[in-house]
Amino acid sequence: MVNARIVNQAQDYVEDHLSEKIRLEDVAKHLNISPYHFHRNFTKYADETFNTFMLRMKLERSALYLVMFKEVSITTISLNYGFSESSAYARSFKKHYGMSPSEFRKQQDMSRTSLVL
């Protein structure tokens, strides 16, 4: 299998299963390669580990969801994106974006309001 295809297919798999707990072994099995081969090639061609990529994707998609669906609670969003606890989600979100999910949501609302005015 071509190495770039491994990364692309893994990314597609993660996109399709963001709400689930995804393990490296599951993706490797889906691609019919060994976990070792998958991890080595993914890291080499994606410039980040699989777990880092997966966490980043979940945080970025959840951030969009936070802005688009203000009526949905942060706890529900965190659970929908595969986090077992909203506190773990909040810590990861803050580490990635430099602010809590609620602060992010408020900031995005203020940005939209100022654009309308």
pLDDT digits (tens, 9 = 90+) for 41-80: 999 888 899 999 999 999 999 999 999 999 999 999 999 9
Q: Which two tokens stand for residue 68?
A: 């688009």
Assess if residue 94 is contained within a domain: yes
Strand positions, DSSP E, 2-95: none
Six token digits for residue 98: 């430099």
| Residue 71 within any structural domain of the chain | yes
- Tokens of residue 59, six digits: 């945080």
**What is the CATH number for 106?**
1.10.10.60
* Co-location of 37 and 10 in the same domain: yes
At 79, the amino acid letter reads: L
Q: Within a domain: residue 52?
A: no
∠ Cα 48 53 58 (to 5°)? 160
Q: What is the mean pLDDT of the chain?
A: 90
Instruction: Identify the domain containing residue 20 by its residue range.
Output: 1-47
Evaluate whether residue 53 is within a structural domain.
Answer: no
11 within a domain of the structure (yes/no)? yes
